[in-house]
């Protein structure tokens, strides 16, 4: 579940207070992640389908990239100088206007983008060509080995279990899924190093992935077409993203229009066995209130195992301590000793006060 901007604004006062205390962005972020490491399962790794906490390897990192790119683009679209520069580059580019993607190659090469963390200014030089980005969703790790692996190009990495989690493979690609998204991986020839080498169109009900030029000799590809067809279920086009890992593969992340498990990506694909789908949901897949309830239960269980008070017991303790010296309290002026108050059991709905010698 994604919070609206109006809902997120409600946290401004809390975050502003933390930021003012930290003084700079880096310690502010450090404190946020320290909280996540102590009070949530964000940094824990799932090692098998029986693990109930944490995320499969690489999933938490994708979540961070998704959120960063989402908010960066919201800022850059209001930067007139940036948009003018972007439009100028677009008019000079031979790439089609419908091309949507992220050129990871240009991010990883020696071309640089000058940044100032303190001033929050990003000044692209004349060599860097940023691409429009859209939301990316999170794939999960597979516990089921792939069946009928698609042909592997010379430069393509071997498939891992995460590439087919709750999904499978076809002659052209591998795919994985969670209840909310689908992650597709398509191998490309080693000569494919930039997003402008590709033509990718993602629509709510269909997809087309092609090379802009004829496939290189010896690549094993018979045509420019890498993937094309009608989706078996509708997607949210505006919330989907594709990216290129140079010389290796295309990663396509699709957000499902409604949360449900797919048995295939395209209508023309063979269906996977529904019984093999791991329907266990991650804590992050639930709405904020449910996440809070789950984490509260986890915290209370951990406290009990360590012999410490649960959240409710701690709350009762704090209220009792506050009322100990209140006006009219029979304990006013005495040292705080919660053992002198019997809060009652299941058959004692009202608290009672033990007689003092």
Asked if residue 261 lies in contact with residue 175, where contact means CB atoms within 8 angstroms, the answer is no
pLDDT computed for residue 156 by the predictor: 54
pLDDT computed for residue 161 by the predictor: 67
**What does the pLDDT average to over 157-174?**
82
pLDDT computed for residue 52 by the predictor: 73
Inside any domain, residue 53? yes
Residues 227 and 288 placed together within one structural domain of the fold: no
Residues 272 and 286 placed together within one structural domain of the fold: no
* Structure confidence at residue 154 as a pLDDT band (50, 70, 90): low
pLDDT computed for residue 1 by the predictor: 55
First to last CA, the chain: 57
Whether residue 247 has pLDDT greater than 70: yes
The segment with the largest mean pLDDT, out of 97-101, 137-141, 274-278, is 274-278
Inside any domain, residue 113? no
Whether residue 110 has pLDDT greater than 70: no
Whether residue 185 has pLDDT greater than 60: yes
pLDDT computed for residue 120 by the predictor: 34
Residues 177 and 274 placed together within one structural domain of the fold: yes
Residues 299 and 269 placed together within one structural domain of the fold: no
* Structure confidence at residue 99 as a pLDDT band (50, 70, 90): very low
User: Can you tell me the distance from the alpha carbon of 336 to that of 79, in angstroms, rounded to the nearest whole number?
Assistant: 59
Asked if residue 273 lies in contact with residue 289, where contact means CB atoms within 8 angstroms, the answer is no
What is the three-class DSSP state of 7?
helix
Residues 191 and 275 placed together within one structural domain of the fold: yes
Whether residue 213 has pLDDT greater than 70: yes
Q: Residue 235: give its domain's CATH number.
A: 2.60.40.790
User: Can you tell me the distance from the alpha carbon of 116 to that of 111, in angstroms, rounded to the nearest whole number?
Assistant: 17
Chosen domain end from 43, 66, 89: 89
Residue in the block written with tokens 């295939």: 264
Inside any domain, residue 114? no
Inside any domain, residue 224? yes
Inside any domain, residue 240? yes
Whether residue 231 has pLDDT greater than 80: yes
User: Can you tell me the distance from the alpha carbon of 335 to that of 316, in angstroms, rounded to the nearest whole number?
Assistant: 18
Number of residues in the chain? 357
- R_g (Cα) of the chain, nearest Å: 27
Whether residue 151 has pLDDT greater than 80: no
Which of the pair, 284 or 125, is modelled with greater confidence? 284
Chosen domain end from 89, 117, 137: 89
- Lowest mean per-residue pLDDT among 21-30, 152-161, 230-239: 152-161
Residues 192 and 258 placed together within one structural domain of the fold: yes
User: Can you tell me the distance from the alpha carbon of 236 to that of 86, in angstroms, rounded to the nearest whole number?
Assistant: 25
Q: Which domain holds residue 187?
A: 168-279
Residues 211 and 272 placed together within one structural domain of the fold: yes
Whether residue 230 has pLDDT greater than 80: yes
* Structure confidence at residue 103 as a pLDDT band (50, 70, 90): very low
Residues 297 and 202 placed together within one structural domain of the fold: no
Kindly report whether the global pTM for this prediction surpasses the value 0.75: no
Residues 237 and 298 placed together within one structural domain of the fold: no
**What does the pLDDT average to over 186-209?**
92
Inside any domain, residue 175? yes
Write the Ramachandran bin of 192: left for phi over 0, alpha for psi from -120 to 50, otherwise beta: beta
Asked if residue 119 lies in contact with residue 140, where contact means CB atoms within 8 angstroms, the answer is no
Inside any domain, residue 13? yes
Whether residue 131 has pLDDT greater than 60: no
Whether residue 106 has pLDDT greater than 90: no
Chosen domain end from 89, 110, 132: 89
Residues 233 and 306 placed together within one structural domain of the fold: no
**What does the pLDDT average to over 288-310?**
79
Provide the domain count of the chain: 3
Give 292's DSSP letter.
H
Residues 194 and 291 placed together within one structural domain of the fold: no
Inside any domain, residue 151? no
Residues 189 and 252 placed together within one structural domain of the fold: yes
pLDDT computed for residue 307 by the predictor: 82
């Amino acid at each position: 579940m994604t919070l609206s901007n109006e809902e997120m604004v409600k946290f401004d006062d809390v975050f502003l207070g933390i930021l003012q205390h930290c003084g700079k962005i880096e310690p502010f972020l450090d404190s946020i992640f320290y909280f996540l490491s102590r009070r949530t399962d964000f940094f824990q790794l799932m090692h098998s389908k029986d693990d109930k906490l944490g995320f499969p390897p690489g999933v938490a990192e994708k979540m961070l990239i998704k959120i960063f790119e989402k908010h960066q683009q919201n800022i850059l679209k209001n930067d007139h100088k940036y948009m003018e520069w972007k439009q100028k580059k677009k008019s000079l580019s031979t790439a089609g206007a419908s091309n949507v993607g992220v050129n990871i190659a240009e991010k990883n090469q020696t071309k640089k983008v000058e940044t100032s963390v303190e001033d929050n200014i990003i000044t692209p030089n004349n060599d860097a060509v940023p691409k429009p980005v859209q939301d990316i969703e999170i794939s999960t790790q597979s516990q089921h080995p792939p069946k009928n692996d698609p042909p592997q190009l010379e430069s393509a990495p071997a498939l891992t279990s995460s590439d087919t989690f709750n999904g499978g493979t076809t002659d052209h690609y591998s795919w994985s899924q969670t209840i909310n998204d689908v992650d597709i991986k398509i191998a490309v020839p080693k000569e494919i190093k930039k997003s402008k080498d590709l033509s990718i169109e993602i629509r709510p009900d269909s997809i087309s992935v092609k090379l802009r030029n004829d496939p290189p000799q010896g690549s094993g590809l018979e045509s420019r077409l890498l993937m094309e067809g009608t989706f078996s279920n509708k997607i949210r086009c505006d919330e989907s993203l594709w990216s290129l890992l140079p010389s290796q593969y295309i990663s396509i992340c699709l957000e499902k229009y409604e949360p449900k498990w797919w048995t295939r990506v395209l209508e023309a694909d063979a269906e996977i066995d529904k019984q093999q789908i791991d329907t266990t949901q991650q804590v992050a897949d639930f709405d904020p209130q449910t996440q809070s309830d789950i984490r509260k239960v986890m915290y209370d269980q951990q406290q009990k195992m360590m012999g410490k008070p649960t959240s409710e017991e701690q709350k009762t303790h704090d209220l009792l301590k506050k009322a100990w010296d209140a006006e009219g309290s029979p304990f006013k002026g005495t040292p705080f000793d919660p053992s002198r108050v019997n809060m009652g059991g299941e058959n004692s709905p009202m608290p009672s006060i033990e007689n003092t010698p």
